[in-house]
Amino acid sequence: MLFEIKSFQDRIAHLYPKVMDLSLGRIENLLKKLGNPQDQIERVIHIAGTNGKGSTLTYISSILSASGYSVDSYTSPHLVNFNERIKIGRIGYQDDIDDDSLAEILLECEYVNNGDPITIFELITAAAFLKFSKTKSDFLILETGLGGRLDATNVVKNPLVSVITPIGIDHQHFLGESIEEIAAEKAGIIKEKCKTVLSYQDESILPIFEDVINSQNNMSKIWDKDYIVRDYDKNFTYNDEKYQMSLPLPNLYGRHQIINAGTAIATIAAIDDIHLTAKSFTAGIKNAEWPARLDLLKFGPLHRHVNSGNEIWLDGGHNGHAAAAIADSMKLLDDKKLILIIGMLNTKNCLEFLDPFKEITELTIAINIPDSSNSHTPEKIIKDAKTLGIPAIIGTDLHNALEHTKKYPENTSRILICGSLYLAGYVMKIHRGFLE
C-alpha cells in the first residue's frame, strides 16, 4: 500500500506544482462536487494549535472510547503507515482505515476532481470527509494540518467544539513571524455561536482569542478561568462547573501532558448532552497512546546499538515551545546523562530548539533526516549546539549515532532522538521491524 500511496501522490503532484499558498477555495470546489460530505457529519471536534494537538486529540478519543462511543479521527502527518491519518471508530476503540477503503476514497476524489488545481493534503482531507460521512460514528475529531483559518479542515461550518492548544512560534513562512500573527491564524477555527475550549496560552495572546470569541458570540471555556487544572506529584485535579475530579497522571510522559489531558476533559465537559463518570476519564487518560511523544522505546532493534540499560527515547517535537516542554520533562529524570540525537528540517530554528537543553545535555549527535533533501546539515546543527556550549559531533546515520553512545557505560545514559516528526517516523519504522 505504501508504494500505491506514493504513486498516487506523484500522479497528482502536477495539479499544484507552485509554491504552496493556503486557501479554502480548491477544497471547497472539490467537496461541492462530492456533495459536501463534511456537512453530513454532525458531531465534529476541531483542534488547532502549535503543540499538543495530537496528544489532546488522543485523550479526547480515548476518554470517549472508554465511555462506549465510536470516535473517528483525522491527523497528519503519519509516522509509519499512511493509513494512520484516518482512524475509524468502533465501540470502545479505533482502527486505521483499511487499504481497500483508502484506495477507494482517494481514487474517487481524484476522479471527481478531474484535474482541477488541488494540493495533496486538500485531496486527502476531502477523501477523509467522504469516508467519515459514511461511518456514522458518534464523533469526529479533526486535527488541523497547518494553521487554522485557511487550513483544509476548516470547512466544517458548525463544530461541536473548537479547541485551541498552546500556541508557539512555528511555520512562520505561512502563518506570520510573530506569536500574535500565528494566534490570529489559529483562531480562525472559532465559529459563530459555537463552543471553544482554550488551552493554556501565553498571556500576551489571550486577548486575541477573547476578542474573536466575543465577536463570534461564542461560548468558551478558557484555561484557568472557566476550568482549573492543578498538577501534583502523583495525580492532578480538574474543576469546572460540571466536573470536580482527582485523576491519575496521564499515561503519556511529561508534565505538559497534564495540560493536554485537562484540555481534553474541558472539551468533553463542553458537550452538553453527555455526562461521564470519573471512572471513564481515568480509563481514557491511562489508556491513551500517542507514539513519538516522549516515547520510551523498549526491547527493539535499535537497542542492539547501545549498552544495556541505556534508554532510548523518541519525540517528534520540532520547535522551541515543544523543546522547552521536552527539556522540562527530561530534567525530572536526572539519574542518567542526557544524549541528544537530532535531525531537523531546514525550515525549523535549530538554535531555538536546542536552547532549552543547554544546561542538561552531555552530548549532541547531529544526523541527516533519512530520505529528506530538506534537512539541516549536521554541520549546521553542530555549529548551533557549540554556540550554546553543548558538546556536539556528527553521526553518519542513526545507527552510527547510536554506536557513538557506547562510550557511556551500562545504565548511565538516556538517549533522546528528536527534532523532527519525519525522523521520528523513520525511527518507528525501524523499531517496529519495517526497516533495518
31 within 8 A of 129, measured Cβ to Cβ: yes
Fold match between domain 2-287 and domain 295-431: no
Task: Give every strand in the sheet of 93-96, ordered side by side.
Answer: 93-96, 86-90, 71-74, 139-143, 44-48, 161-164, 195-198, 219-222
- Beta bridge pairs of residue 295: 314
What CATH code would you report for 2-287? 3.40.1190.10
- What is the model's pLDDT at position 271? 97
In degrees and rounded to multiples of 5, residue 329 shows phi and psi of: -70, -40
Pick the closest to residue 423 from 411, 431, 414 (CA basis). 431
| pLDDT of res. 215 | 93
What is the distance between the alpha carbons of residues 298 and 306, in angstroms, rounded to a whole number?
A: 12
Quickly list DSSP for 77-146.
Answer: S-SS-GGGGEEEEETTEEEEPPHHHHHHHHHHHHHHHTT----HHHHHHHHHHHHHHHH--SEEEEE-SS
| Cα–Cα distance for residue pair 167/346, rounded to 1 Å | 21
User: If DSSP codes are grouped into helix, strand and coil, which group holds residue 43?
Assistant: coil
Q: Looking at domain 295-431, does it have CATH number 3.90.550.10?
A: no
Q: Where are the domains of the chain?
A: 2-287, 295-431
Tell me how far apart the alpha carbons of residues 186 and 208 are, in angstroms, rounded to a whole number: 10
- What distance in Å separates the CA atoms of residue 70 and residue 88, rounded to the nearest whole number? 8
Tell me how far the alpha carbon of residue 43 is from its chain's centroid.
Answer: 21
Grid coordinates of 306: 547501545
Q: Which residues pair with 86 in a beta bridge?
A: 74
Burial tier of 322 (Cβ tally within 10 Å: 0-12, 13-18, 19+): buried
Of the candidates 170, 178, 174, 227, the residue with the CA atom closest to the CA atom of residue 199: 227
Q: How far is CA 346 from CA 100, 148, 211, 343, in A?
A: 36, 23, 35, 10
pLDDT value of position 127 = 98
Summarised one tens digit per residue, pLDDT across range 198-217 is: 999 999 999 999 999 999 88
φ/ψ (deg, to 5) at 190: -75, 125
Question: pLDDT per position in the chain (436 positions), as tens?
Answer: 554 788 888 888 888 866 668 889 999 999 999 999 999 999 999 999 999 999 999 999 999 999 999 999 999 999 999 999 999 999 888 999 999 999 999 999 999 999 999 999 999 999 999 999 999 999 999 999 988 999 999 999 999 999 999 998 665 655 666 889 999 999 999 999 999 999 999 999 999 999 999 998 889 999 999 999 999 988 999 999 999 999 999 989 998 999 999 999 999 999 999 999 999 999 999 999 999 999 999 989 999 999 999 999 999 999 999 999 999 999 988 789 999 999 999 999 999 999 999 999 999 999 999 988 899 999 999 999 999 999 999 999 999 999 999 999 999 999 999 999 999 999 999 999 988 7
Interhelix angle 2-12/99-113, rounded to 10 degrees, is 10
Phi and psi of 216, rounded to 5°? -95, 5
Distance CA 341, CA 396 (A): 11
